[in-house]
Every structure is written in structure tokens, then in C-alpha cells.
Amino acid sequence: MLESKVAEHFPDEAEIIKVQKGQELVGKHYEPLFNYFHRHENAFKVLSAEFVTAETGTGIVHMAPAFGEEDFEACKKAQIQLVCPVTEEGTFTEAVADFKGMYIKDADKVILRRLKEEGKVFSHTTFRHSYPFCWRSDTPLIYRAVSSWFVKVEAIKERLIENNKKVHWVPEHIQSGRFGKWLEQARDWSISRSRYWGTPIPIWRAKDGEMLVVSSLKELKDLTGFEGNDIHRHFIDNLVIHKNGKEFHRIKDIFDCWFESGSMPYAELHYPFENQSAFDNGFPADFIGEGLDQTRGWFYTLNVLSVALFDLPAAKNIIVNGIILAEDGQKMSKKLKNYPDPNDVINKFGADSIRCYLLHSQAVRAEDLRFSEKGVEEIVRKLFIPLKNAYQFLATYASLANFEPKNIRSAHPLDRWIISKKEGLIRDVKEAMDAYSLDAAIDPIYQFVDELTNWYIRRSRHRFWDENIEAFETLYMVLKDVVILLAPFAPFITESLYQELRLKGDPESVHGNLIPQPDLYLIDEKLEESTATIQRVVNLGHQLRKTHKLKVRQPLSRITLITKEPSIVEALENGREQILEELNIKELSIASEAGNKIKLTLKPNWRGLGARLGSKVQEAAKKIQQLDQQDILALLEGSEVVLPLDGESFSLSEQDVEVVLNPIDGLVAASFGKVVALMDTALTLELIQEGIVRELVNKVNTRRKEEGLEVQDRIHLTILSTQDVIDAVTLHLEYFRNEVLAVKVDFVLKELEESEFVIEKQVLV
């Protein structure tokens, strides 16, 4: 017994008779528990092996070479011949006479009882551990050594490793990681199975061991007279080859199905018997794709055979996806029914939605994905609905304006911006597709559709109402290119939209178009950067409104943007009108200094600083508190500030502190990068009245939709409300009428908590 296990197995103090090294026991014979194989050469002696651990048991394990790989290798090394007293059905053979015919699991208790009766049981405990079960029948499996045919993989291991370096793996880490490590440990591959159904191994063997390998149906016919095409076992097992005065009978084994899957590149073309040029032109394959588990399956067998036959990898590019799990993280199981019916999900959300959900997920980066219907629904909400709404917007206004595309280029900044973004999108998608990076190909499309609908269309609404031909041309061109670009990922919805956008002379199907080529001349990076700055300021302003509960429809008097960066100042000046409109603010000021309107203070990031400075963190915190406004502003803009600390220099960055903005009363503040925004929250009577009118515009237009009015329909409107509401609308009557398309507005004074409306459609003749 292992010395460290004595106390565990002998709770009371035990008398230790002798302590010696395990190595001293190696080679010594011992008396077996049963004498069934007592005459077996080299058997029943002590061996040493590295896989024996001191964590469980006694430090000594029994070896059964027919029922475990480690046991097999240890006994093989000790020149102990294999014995296998268990049948294919899991019952003992006559070699174990006392238990012959008994199922091994049923025999456990019988064997244990006998050993106890003979006084040979030292300790009987239950040890819980994982155990393999058949996934079909849910019954226990056993490891059992069988005779097998092998491919000598170890002989070509170095060539496999070298050819793997020629493959572009997606994701890249699979090459030297999971697949590369598997190749380094590659063993000879067992390719035979003792089953009935499958592809028979075409080897015929004589009694003296001589073998014939039949290479084709023609050769089989020449050797046996066989006339058929079906080569399953029941057609060819009885075929006898007579040659050189001997009888050759087919071995009973069939090929492992993985050998067949690895033969796919040749079998699909019936190579080498025909299609020589087709094979030469298509091998290695441009790309293949499968799940992460196939690094030890199909990817492996493909490359073993291709390297063995041609010293080439099976494919130039290999895309590896993760495993799709149930939402609870378990494997999807028909038995457990832990996943939604695929047909139900397709009928509910569409096949395109599922496809784009998977492409947009970590599954395409070889990471496991918990499938979620909510994730599929999000794709519909964030990609397909906005895209369809963008087309519907164009179709509605194009119909009113009798628009017909004429491929006119626009010089309007908004049009130039969205065209620049579109050309950049095409470039990025093509580059990602060329790199077989699926998520990098589709992710930019999501972002683009968001900017198309939530910035370009929203900022351009008045231009479409005014029937601006350049806006129509731009949106039509953008939508058409995006639909064609998205077609490989979402073939059904893009086909539907394309049929609405298709002109005479265009291909009949979206899938008849080539992917657009990017016009790099139209990419204006400065314009894109300028617009991005404007968008960030707008987002910052909306964040301030939301944080301080200031409705967007309530106009405010002023926003001050503080920055010293010339390029940002230029962008803000160019986007002045857009910022004011988006944030519903009357005046924008751009300044390089905050003056006395705001005070900046710092909070140390204790965790980060503590990890870097250790015991010096308290002294550093004092230094931080002493920094002046210019130093803090430098940190806010992304610069580093150098502090003296115990005779050394310490670089302080924005990550080491939290910058706190403390504006004066009546102002609220926020920042991003090198910009600080100060928003004036004071409300005058005029601002309040305009806010009332904007709220009413929203409510009336909502009612228009609810009552099914078309976008061009004019109305007669009666407002029942209080005097302050009537006064506000009267003051801004022209604006109000234009926004709700009212040819006439009447007022009825009535004390109500909320205004009421009566809408009458005006029929235009």
C-alpha cells in the first residue's frame, strides 16, 4: 500500500512492517485472485506506469490489457500477450469458466461475494466517476481490444504537420492549437469495424496469409466473374478468388465511416477512374467548413488521406464553427427535447433570421453558442425590420414623386457621407469574405443598416418630402447595393426586396448579380470622421437629457462644447445645424476653455493603482488630489500626466482615475474623448410653449397612423384643450400645420388633463 494512504485505510494506528520504494517491487510475481490465466507468459507481475496516481485507491491498480488503452500499452511494453475473456455481447467466455455466459455488469456482485467468502477483499467502497454510455440505447459501454486494420499515421506525422501550415484556418488559433496539438499526438488510425452494414474492405486473404487488394469493380469482375454494382457484404462476402493455386476469401471487416468521409474529395468524382481534370482543378478544395469537434474527425481524416496520397492538405481554407447548444448550456437532445422545433422557429422568424443570427454569433469563431429564440428575434428587430422599413420609406415617397432612377450622383454632404459609408462597407465585406471571416463580413452590415435608418433617413426626411431627386437617387442606389451585398447571407428577404428594386435589364434574381465592387474614390474618410464626431456629440446630448429627465421634444436654450482639437472644432462647426436639430437646442457655442462654468475633480481608481503601486498608492492618491484643472483636462483628453513619486516618475493615465464633472447650477455636463458638453437646463415660457407644440405634433401624427391616413393626406383638426395649450399652438401655428398636414385647425377651450383631437380627412380634388 502507498505509504500516504495508510492513515486513510487504517483509521486506527497501524503497524508498518516495512517501507520500500515502489521501484523495488517492479518485476516481482504475485498470486492472482483467480487462477484462470496463471500459466500466461509474463503475467501476474508488478509493472510501473506513470498514469497511476496517489489521489485515490491504494497506489496499486490491476491491469486488464484488453479493456483499456493505458493497460494495453503497459502490458505490451512488458511483453504480456493480450487475453480477452469477454464476448462482443459483453458476456464472459469459457476461459472464465465459473462465470461463463454471465453479463459482466451482472457478474460484479457475484465476483465480489466470492472474493469475500475467500477472504480476499481488503476494502469495499463505492467510487463515483464518469462512465461511457451508448447515446442511442443509454446502456453502459466497455472498452474491449479487437483486431483491427490501421493506417500508419505515425509514419507521415511530420508531413501532416508541415501541410497543416499551408492551410488558412478560421479562426487562426485552431491551426497550431486544437488541430495542431492533435497532429503532434497522432497515432496509427484504426480504419476497420466489425459490423455488417458499411463499405467492405476490399482485401481477400488466403490461409497462408497472402493477401490480394482489389482496386476496382473491373478487377473484381476479372477475378471472380462478379457482374453487379452493389458491393455490400451480402453480395460479395461469398466471392472466392482462385489464384496461384490458392483460395482467397474476403476479410469480414468493413471500413470505418470516417475513412469514407475522408475519401470524399475522390469519391464524389469517382476519381481516379474518371474526371481526372475536374479533380486536378478542384483539389485541394477552396474551403470546407464544419464544427469544432471535427478537428478530430472529418478535418483529420481528410488531411490524413490527402497527405498520404498527394502530400497536400485537403483544403486551402477551413472554417470551424462552435457547437450549437441548448439555451440551458446542455447539448441539444431529442430525448430531452431541450430545444425549440426548427420548423416552428423558421415559420416564426424566417430561415434568413436563423442564418444571420448564427453568422453574427460567436459560433463562427469556433466558440459554443447557447441557441436562443430571443437572439433570432433580435436579428429581425435590428436588421430585417429596419431594412424593410428603409425600402418602404423610399417606396412611399417615390410613388408620390413618380421617381424613376437615373443614376444621378449627389454632392449633398449627407448623400456623400452615406455613399462613402456604403463603399467602405462593400470593401470591408469583400475583404472579410476573402479571408473567410464570416462574422467580420456580416457585422458591418448591421452597423450600416443602423446608420442608414437612424441617421441618413431621419436626417433626410424633409428632403424626400420636398421631392429632392438627389436624395431619391442616393437611397435607391444604397438600398440596392446593400440588398445585393446581403444576399449570400439572407437569400430570401433580399430576393423579395430586390424584386421591388429591380429595373428593366437587371438580372432576374438578386443571386444573378455579382457582389458590387467598391469605388474607393468615393470613400471620404474626413467626412466620415467629421460625421462620427457629430453623432457622438448627439449621443452625448441624448445621454444628458435621459440622465436628467429632459424630454427630447422639450427645446433647450444652449449647449456649449469645449475642445481644443482643431479637427473636432471644424467638425462641430460643419455639423452645427445637425447638432441643434437632433438635440432640439436653440444655440451652440464652441469654446476651448470652460471658464468658471465647471470644475473638474478626480477619483482614484484604487484597484488599478493598487496593483501598479502597491504601498505607494496612498501617496499617489494625495498627488492626484493636488492636480490643477489643466492637468485634469489633459487626462480627460487622453493625455498622460507625470507625477513625482518617491524620487521616481509615475505616468498617470485616464484609466487610473475617474474624472468627475461639477458644473454650476443650471448646467449639466458630460464628456467623451476630447470634448466636454455643457447643457443649459433653464426653461423659459417660450421654450415650454414650443415643447407643448412638439408633443402635440407627435400625438397627432400617431393618431394619423392609427386611423390609417396616408402620408400625403391633409386633415381638418379640432383641438379640445386648456388655454395654455391653445396659446402655445397659436403662437407656432404655421409650424404645427406643416408638421401634421392640417389645412385647418380649430380650437375648443376645455379643462382637460390631456388634450383631445378630432381629425377629419380632407379629400383633395
Q: What is the pLDDT of residue 643?
A: 75
Q: What is the pLDDT of residue 199?
A: 93
Give the amino acid at 564. Answer: K
Nearest to 652 by CA among 677, 624, 619, 676: 624
Q: What is the pLDDT of residue 605?
A: 72
Q: What is the pLDDT of residue 8?
A: 75
Cβ–Cβ < 8 Å for 498, 484: yes
Percent of the chain with pLDDT over 70: 97
Nearest to 25 by CA among 43, 42, 47, 57: 47
| Residues written for the chain | 765
Residue 312 has pLDDT above 80, yes or no: yes
DSSP state of 514: P
Distance CA 761, CA 713 (A): 7
pLDDT range class, residue 761, cuts 50, 70, 90: low
Q: Which three cell numbers stand for residue 521?
A: 474614390
In sequence order, the 6+-apart residues with CB closer than 8 A to the CB of 5 are 54, 57, 58, 59
In sequence order, the 6+-apart residues with CB closer than 8 A to the CB of 548 are 668, 681
Span 26-40, average pLDDT: 82
Q: What is the pLDDT of residue 763?
A: 43
Sheet order of strands, 246-250 included: 211-213, 203-205, 246-250, 240-243
User: What separation in angstroms does the CA of 660 have from each of 495, 629, 633, 657, 665?
Assistant: 52, 12, 11, 9, 15
Q: Which residue has the cell 459560433?
A: 363
Q: What is the pLDDT of residue 647?
A: 67
Among 6-15, 203-212, 309-318, 557-566, whose mean pLDDT is lowest?
Answer: 6-15
Q: What is the pLDDT of residue 494?
A: 96
Q: Which one has a higher pLDDT value, 142 or 581?
A: 581
- H runs (alpha helix) in 118-195: 157-164, 173-176, 178-184
Residue 765 has pLDDT above 50, yes or no: no
Residue 604 has pLDDT above 90, yes or no: no
Give the amino acid at 525. Answer: E
Q: What is the pLDDT of residue 762?
A: 54
Residue 764 has pLDDT above 50, yes or no: no
Q: What is the pLDDT of residue 287?
A: 93
Rounded to the nearest 10 degrees, the angle between the axes of helix 723-731 and helix 733-740 is 90
DSSP state of 383: I
User: What separation in angstroms does the CA of 36 have from each of 62, 93, 750?
Assistant: 15, 11, 107
Q: HSE, CB side, 13 Å, CA atoms: give it for residue 220.
A: 22
In sequence order, the 6+-apart residues with CB closer than 8 A to the CB of 515 are 426, 429, 430, 433, 484, 485, 488
Among 119-133, 348-362, 409-423, whose mean pLDDT is lowest?
Answer: 119-133
Residue 75 CB-density burial (10 A; 0-12 exposed, 13-18 middle, 19+ buried):
buried
Other Cβ atoms less than 10 A from the Cβ of 592: the count is 9
pLDDT digits (tens, 9 = 90+) for 674-730: 888 999 999 999 999 999 999 999 999 998 888 888 888 888 988 888 898 899 999
Q: What is the pLDDT of residue 426?
A: 97
Residue 69 has pLDDT above 50, yes or no: yes
Beta strands in 309-367 (DSSP E): 315-321, 324-325
Q: What is the pLDDT of residue 114?
A: 85
Q: Which residue has the cell 422545433?
A: 341
pLDDT range class, residue 31, cuts 50, 70, 90: confident
Distance CA 66, CA 84 (A): 6
Per-residue three-class SS string for 222-259: HHHCCCCCCCCHHHHCCCEEEECCEEEEECCCEECHHH
Residue 511 has pLDDT above 70, yes or no: yes
Span 421-443, average pLDDT: 94
Cβ–Cβ < 8 Å for 415, 471: yes
Q: What is the pLDDT of residue 291?
A: 92
Q: What is the pLDDT of residue 256?
A: 92
Distance CA 520, CA 422 (A): 10
Q: What is the pLDDT of residue 284?
A: 95
Cβ–Cβ < 8 Å for 587, 555: no
